[in-house]
Amino acid sequence: MGFDPKAIAASIMRGYITDTPSLEEMLYVKGKVAIVTGGTSGLGFCTAQRLLQGGAKVVISGSTDEKGENAVALLKEAGFSDITFCKADLCSEADVESLVKFAADTYGSVDILVTSGGAWSFAHIYDLPEEDFMKTVNINLAGAYRCAKHVSKYMIEHEVKGKIVLVSSNVAYMPQPVFGGYAHYAASKGGVISMTYEIAKELKRYGIMVNSVAPGGMKTPGGLTNGPVRSLSPEKQMEIGKELRVAKLDAVPTADSVAMVIYGMCTRMADGVTGECIVADSGMMRNIVSYQPAIEEYPPKE
């Protein structure tokens, strides 16, 4: 029989049809078990809710029992039953290891990790105490490392082809706020993106896909209450507080708009994506705005 390109093409295209999973399988995370750090508030809470909507069983972690119990109560009140809290300090490797074991013991697996737990504050580099720099890096960067380390170890040992999403920030690409004050946070979140590339390279052979999502400013409880480094003098706190009020955004994205992107990266829709950073800041990094807000002149001219 001679070479028949039409028959070969038809065979390939027939394979497309027979090998295509249903949209339900691609879009939902039914039966999956997810760990969401920082899930007691803000972005982590919204991400946990979306994963629950998608059919996952979710373990949220945070630093206090009070916030954890409150978050679980709210989600159960909304009709979700497969939600549990596990207290964990991201600066403690023992806590993180226990968190992974808790999720596996409670729900039978660990298929998804989202690291949305984090800390931030504001201080110019010339005023920034080293302890605040190290604390921010320890929670945001080293905390993500600890989670990825122990979750990936579990996935490899149990042959789980899972999804890991490390939450970064668009501050890794652009200086913020208007007059700075974010060097420690930028260092930690830039490190998360670089680490994502390397971890993705290491885990691809095990079928584990690793990506990062970088939000911009969001409307969250933490975003509304965070401020200058508390150890700064009252005068320095007032100075940087005044600078923070200069910036104006055309709109403040909701945490859920970012949570939906994270959710998508946890589904089979993202099976072909690894080692990427998805910037989910509604165009902020590219200066894509619906209108240009005015910025007061600062400091005023003499």
- Helix then strand count (H, E) for the chain reads 11, 7
| Strand pairing report for 209-215 and 83-87 | unpaired
Helical residues (DSSP H) of the chain, grouped into ranges: 5-18, 23-27, 42-53, 65-77, 93-107, 130-137, 143-157, 183-203, 221-225, 234-244, 255-266
Nearest of 129, 82, 122 to residue 223 by alpha carbon? 122
Nearest of 92, 131, 150, 113 to residue 38 by alpha carbon? 113
Omega before 175 cis (within 30°)? no
DSSP helix/strand/coil, 158: coil
**Residue 8 φ then ψ, to 5°:** -65, -45
Check residue 267 and report its DSSP letter. Answer: S
Could you give the count of Cα atoms lying within 13 Å of 91 in the half-sphere of its Cβ? 9
**Cα end-to-end distance, the chain, whole Å:** 89
Catalytic residue of the set 185, 263, 291, 298: 185
CA distance 38 to 127: 28
Q: Which amino acid is at 131?
A: E
Check residue 254 and report its DSSP letter. Answer: B
- 107 part of the active site: no
Give catalytic residues, as residue numbers: 185
